[in-house]
Amino acid sequence: MIRVMLVDDQELVRAGFRMVLGAQPDIEVVAEAADGAAAVEALREIEADVVLMDVRMPRMDGVEATRIICATSPEARVLILTTFDLDEYAFAAIKAGASGFMLKDVLPTDLLSAIRSVHAGDAVVAPSTTRRLLERFAVHLPHEGDTSRDLDELTAREREVLLHVAQGLSNTEIAAQLHLAEATVKTHLGRVLAKLRLRDRAQAVVYAYETGLVVPHGGPR
pLDDT digits (tens, 9 = 90+) for 110-124: 889 889 988 887 767
Arithmetic mean of pLDDT, 49-59: 92
pLDDT score of 139: 55
Instruction: Yes or no: say if 165 and 178 are a contact pair by the CB < 8 Å rule.
Output: no
Kindly tell me the burial class for residue 71, based on how many C-beta atoms sit within 10 Å of its own C-beta (0-12, 13-18, 19 or more): exposed
Instruction: Yes or no: say if 160 and 191 are a contact pair by the CB < 8 Å rule.
Output: no
Q: Where are the alpha helices (DSSP H) in 73-139?
A: 87-95, 108-119, 127-137
- Band of pLDDT at residue 148, cut at 50, 70 and 90: very low
Distance of alpha carbon 192 from alpha carbon 134, whole angstroms? 20
